[in-house]
């Protein structure tokens, strides 16, 4: 008789020691790679495949961490770093260029348990802006650092530094020249991730090169907590992409969480109301990826397309570009 309780206790102890994924607790991750005028006729089949493969790689990198019991913060950083290192997206290597032909990078991160956050703006030599934003959150008393100060902090944290040329690609340089010849409208984009870990904690991260041909040290919504990034375990984790000035004015990421908290809307109801009504009524364009504490995912956008994908609580992986 006495052996049965002991076996039960042993089984419970073994279960507690298993990674979060093995306990069948909900985990999920979603990413985006920017929103805008993304039309099938403007993209070759090879290019579309490349985008889909890179988004899949980013999702799997983040999900692997969650599945091993890692934190949502670790997961969103890992996913965003894959996108930062790809020249396909407007973040890190491959970021759009300023009017002077340089890269100026912004990023932010927030975790939903304590609502701690970190952000950087206008950095030029930090290889991974999202990792620097995380260090601001975890290793400093501040929320946002900018410019040279942020880079001094990166050196203090022993982060990898690179020449600004590392971020510049031929594609982005040619894009800048077309814009300066007034042959192309301004281009902007972002990458981001949201995740739920096995402990029930949400996190959101966003990284960008900003707006092509930007001047005067322009900073958009991506490093601004509440505008481009927000996370709160009681409501949602949100990462935004689009015309940043409108997302700042609309406090879009926080607005979604606030509508869930104060109007008792579901994640999908709140995200769609903010993107398709409030943002659109202002004249803003873009979209968000959002996730609630149950791992439910919403990814509304009011543009022709948005690079996006998820691995949901059932383990299903899906990536998309257009309205599919």
Answer yes or no: are the C-beta atoms of 48 and 88 closer than 8 Å: no
User: For residue 196, how far is the Cα from the chain centroid?
Assistant: 13
Answer yes or no: are the C-beta atoms of 300 and 275 closer than 8 Å: yes
**288 is a domain residue:** yes
Question: Is 190 annotated in the active site?
Answer: yes
**5 is a domain residue:** no
Number of DSSP helices (H) and strands (E) in the chain, helices first: 10, 12
Which of the following is catalytic: 2, 37, 47, 190?
A: 190
**20 is a domain residue:** no
Residues 6+ apart with CB under 8 A from 29: 59, 62, 63, 66, 75, 76, 79, 193, 194, 195, 196, 310, 311
Look at strands 28-36 and 305-311 and give their pairing.
Answer: antiparallel
Q: Is 240 helix (H, G, I), strand (E, B) or coil?
A: strand
Answer yes or no: are the C-beta atoms of 290 and 232 closer than 8 Å: no
**315 is a domain residue:** yes
Alpha helices in the chain (DSSP H): 3-17, 45-67, 72-84, 129-139, 147-156, 170-180, 244-250, 252-263, 267-273, 280-282
The torsion defined by the Cα of 300, 34, 38 and 289, in degrees rounded to 10, comes to -20
What does pTM read for this prediction?
Answer: 0.91
Cα separation of 268 and 298, whole Å?
5
The DSSP string of 135-188 is HHHHHSS-SEEEHHHHHHHHHHTT--B--GGGG--HHHHHHHHHHHTTSS---E
What is the count of structural domains for the chain?
A: 1
**18 is a domain residue:** no
CATH label of the domain that carries residue 178: 3.60.20.30
**14 is a domain residue:** no
pLDDT at 19: 46
Answer yes or no: are the C-beta atoms of 84 and 191 closer than 8 Å: yes
Q: Is 233 helix (H, G, I), strand (E, B) or coil?
A: coil
pLDDT at 184: 67
Answer yes or no: are the C-beta atoms of 300 and 271 closer than 8 Å: yes
**31 is a domain residue:** yes
CA distances from residue 33 to 82, 134, 272 in whole angstroms, order as listed: 11, 19, 19
pLDDT at 7: 47
Structure tokens given for 108: 């932010």
**Parent domain of 59:** 26-320
Per-residue pLDDT of the chain (324 residues; tens, 9 = 90+): 444 555 455 444 544 544 444 447 999 999 999 998 677 777 899 999 999 999 999 999 999 999 999 999 999 999 999 999 999 999 999 999 999 999 999 999 999 999 999 999 999 999 999 999 999 999 999 999 999 999 999 999 999 999 999 999 999 999 899 988 876 665 668 999 999 999 999 999 999 999 999 999 999 999 999 999 999 999 999 999 999 999 999 999 999 999 999 999 999 999 999 999 999 999 999 999 999 999 999 999 999 999 999 999 999 999 999 986
**137 is a domain residue:** yes
């Amino acid at each position: 008789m006495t052996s049965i309780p002991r076996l039960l206790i042993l089984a419970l102890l073994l279960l507690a020691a298993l990674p979060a994924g093995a306990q069948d607790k909900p985990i999920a991750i979603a990413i985006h790679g920017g929103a805008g005028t993304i039309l099938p006729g403007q993209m070759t089949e090879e290019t579309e495949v490349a985008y889909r493969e890179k988004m899949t790689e980013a999702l799997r990198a983040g999900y692997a961490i969650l599945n091993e019991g890692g934190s949502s913060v670790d997961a969103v950083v890992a996913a965003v770093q894959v996108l930062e290192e790809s020249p396909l997206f407007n973040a890190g290597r491959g970021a759009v260029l300023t009017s002077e032909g340089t890269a100026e990078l912004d990023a932010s991160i927030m975790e939903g348990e304590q609502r701690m956050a970190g952000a950087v703006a206008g950095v030029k030599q930090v290889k991974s802006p999202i990792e620097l934003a995380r260090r601001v959150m975890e290793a400093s008393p501040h929320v946002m650092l900018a410019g040279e100060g942020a880079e001094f902090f990166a050196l203090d944290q022993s982060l990898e530094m690179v020449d600004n040329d590392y971020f510049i690609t031929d594609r982005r340089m040619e894009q800048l020249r077309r814009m300066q010849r007034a042959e192309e409208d301004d281009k902007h984009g972002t990458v981001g991730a949201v995740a739920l870990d096995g402990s029930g904690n949400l996190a959101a991260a966003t990284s960008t090169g900003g707006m092509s041909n930007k001047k005067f040290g322009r900073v958009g919504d991506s490093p601004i907590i509440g505008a481009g990034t927000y996370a709160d375990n009681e409501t949602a984790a949100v990462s935004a992409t689009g015309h940043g000035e409108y997302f700042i004015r609309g406090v879009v990421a926080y607005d979604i969480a606030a509508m869930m908290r104060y109007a008792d809307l579901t994640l999908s109801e709140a995200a769609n109301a903010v993107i398709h009504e409030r943002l659109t009524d202002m004249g803003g364009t873009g979209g968000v990826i959002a996730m609630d504490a149950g791992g439910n995912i919403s990814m509304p956008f009011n543009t022709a397309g948005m690079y996006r994908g998820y691995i949901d609580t059932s383990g299903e992986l899906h990536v998309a570009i257009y309205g599919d």
